[in-house]
Chains A and B, each alone.
Chain A
Amino acid sequence: MSHLSFNDVSLTYPARDRNGAAQLVLDRISLSLSTGEFVAVIGRSGSGKTSLLNIAAGFQEPSEGTVTLDGAPIDGPGTERAVVFQDDALYPWLVARDNVAFPLKLRGVGERDRRARAEELLELVGLPTAGNRRISELSGGMRQRVGIARALAAEPRFLLLDEPLGALDSLTRSRMQTFLLNVWTKSGSGALLITHSIDEALLLATRIVVLSPHPGRLAADIPSSFAADILSGTPAGDVRASPAFKRMHDGLIGLIHTASPEEELAA
């Protein structure tokens, strides 16, 4: 079992001009994610969710504090943490299969082996015939699945997902949620999912973290058990309809609201 931990992580963006003030975006965040866990981070726009994920990925260095992987501080991005981006970040000059095989190519895996592996992964994400398609020929949902297959190709211990389903219509989105949950269970990795949707967080996560904005602080860290119901085959509609789900949902809405200063909401 592996642990990815934020230890008192703060992030300050410097002032844009001489009159501006430095902006504290994340304020002493301590959070730990283990393999086998699915942690959803919710919070209002601008609360620092993407910043948090970028720090976990190693794209951004924290101003204070450290991120450690099994106790050792991380030093930039690493193959044990794979990222799925909000706007897919697939390479348009590569066909779907070569996008999926990209992490393997960087690692020096031979042409034939990485092709075979990429085809397997495309089959896994429900796109068995899309290998030769250009990215521009794929729909948004198909692209996100290719992006997830590419992340899985790196065989990461942690999947970092920045609103990967944000741009999808609600029907595709709910299909993709079930899909994501299954991929995560099979892969045995730890998942960190940024989302705007309380509903999505409740359906997928084993833990829900609420970030309050300006500066981003941990407002709550709550276990959730609805993902287990989904995995055992209960339709998402039935899970949503249960009183327990509604109670949690309302509670989280309340948390996000009280965690946000009034003038913020008015703006």
Chain B
Amino acid sequence: MTLTTHLPQSYGYVPDVNAAQAKQTPVRKRQVPIALVSLLTAAGLLLIWAATATAGLVSPIFLPAPAVVAATLWNLVTVGFVDSTLAEHVLASLGRVLGGLGVSVLIGVPAGLAIGMSRIGRGILDPIVEFLRPLPPLAYLPLIIIWFGIGEASKVTVIALSMLPSIIISTAAGVRAVPKDHINAARAFGATRRQVTLHVVLPSALPSILTGTRIALGTGWSTLVAAELVAATRGLGFMIQSAAQFLVTDVVIAGIAVIALIAILLEIAARALERWLAPWASAH
């Protein structure tokens, strides 16, 4: 192994061995394959479901067989249900949830900064957040429908409102956790208040903001499906609600499976986003 070749002007500092190589993540010991156990559990449940359904213990109206649901799922993809293909339902739902996310990030991050950085901001916004946070979104959905009708605006509003508290709270918590030395260092280098906010407070709070956003996305997704049960003409919630009215149970179950799958995918995407935007936070 060779050390660094030459150190012009290195002021008598002899580099230690550590300097020659970056610290690397230590190699983990082999873990018990928990994923395998989970996989087997899932397969077992599927088997019980299939056995119950094919044995005729339960009427197909209550519990269609897995194979039937799979065929229905394929049918949903190719033909669709109530005027829309599965992709169209999914896109309608995803569009709403991402729209709501955009709105609540645009409002929630500045609001969280205000709470974390200013006493007056906290005085004004804290009660609003504390009022909104424990409120089930479906409780204010009727009011939103009165105000905005049953179109897209009311759904995006409800989703945005349901996401807002966790984004505001996580932003404010991230801001309050910024080490004082980090701010002082920037001030000593001549940073203005705006530069401190932009170059120190925001990046320092970013991991917390992203975590809050990921949690909000979960909340938003479940709120969305519930909101679509009440008022929509397209979307996954609407799809299973209409199917339920005609007792098309296979579509209901297929829809639930798709909703769960998308929830998982959103979680994975959010985690990937955290790793991508704030790699230093997950480094150790």
Residues of A within 8 A of B (CB): 57-59, 76-79, 81-83, 85, 87, 89, 91-93, 102-103, 105-107, 123-130, 133-139, 141-142, 145, 150, 154, 172, 175-176, 178-179, 182-183, 186
Contacts and interface: CB of A to CB of B under 8 A. Distances in A.
Interface stretch (B40-48, B177-185, B233-241): B177-185
A172 B11 CA distance: 15
A230 B11 CA distance: 13
A102 B195 CA distance: 11
A91 B200 contact: yes
Given A126-B7, A142-B19, A178-B11, 15 more contacts: A57-B184, A58-B187, A59-B187, A91-B204, A92-B283, A102-B186, A102-B189, A123-B8, A126-B19, A129-B4, A137-B283, A138-B23, A139-B18, A175-B14, A179-B12
Given A85-B181, A106-B195, A134-B280, A126 B188 contact: no
A42 to B, nearest CB: 22
B11 A179 contact: yes
A106 B182 contact: no
B13 A175 contact: yes
B103 to A, nearest CB: 26
Interface residues of B, number: 38
24 contacts: A57-B184, A57-B188, A59-B188, A79-B188, A85-B184, A85-B185, A89-B182, A92-B281, A93-B206, A102-B189, A106-B189, A124-B9, A127-B15, A130-B19, A136-B283, A136-B284, A138-B23, A139-B16, A139-B18, A142-B18, A154-B189, A175-B16, A179-B12, A182-B12
A106 B186 contact: yes
- Classify the secondary structure of B's interface with A: loop
Contacts of B284: 136
B22 interface: yes
A123 B185 contact: no
Contacts of A124: 9-11
Contacts of B279: 134
Contacts of B23: 136-139
B184 A77 contact: yes
Contact of B12 (A59, A105, A107, A178): A178
B271 interface: no
A133 B14 contact: no
List the 3 shortest-distance A-B pairs measured between CB atoms, nearest first.
Answer: A182-B11, A89-B181, A103-B189
Contact of A126 (B15, B22, B181): B15
Contact of B190 (A57, A106, A186): A106
A13 B249 CA distance: 70
B189 A87 contact: no
Interface in B186-215: 186-191, 195, 199-200, 203-204, 206
B231 to A, nearest CB: 42
Nearest to A160: B188
A172 B18 CA distance: 11
A267 B199 CA distance: 43
A185 to B, nearest CB: 9
A91 B10 contact: no
A129 B4 CA distance: 8
A26 B58 CA distance: 82
Contacts of A154: 188-190
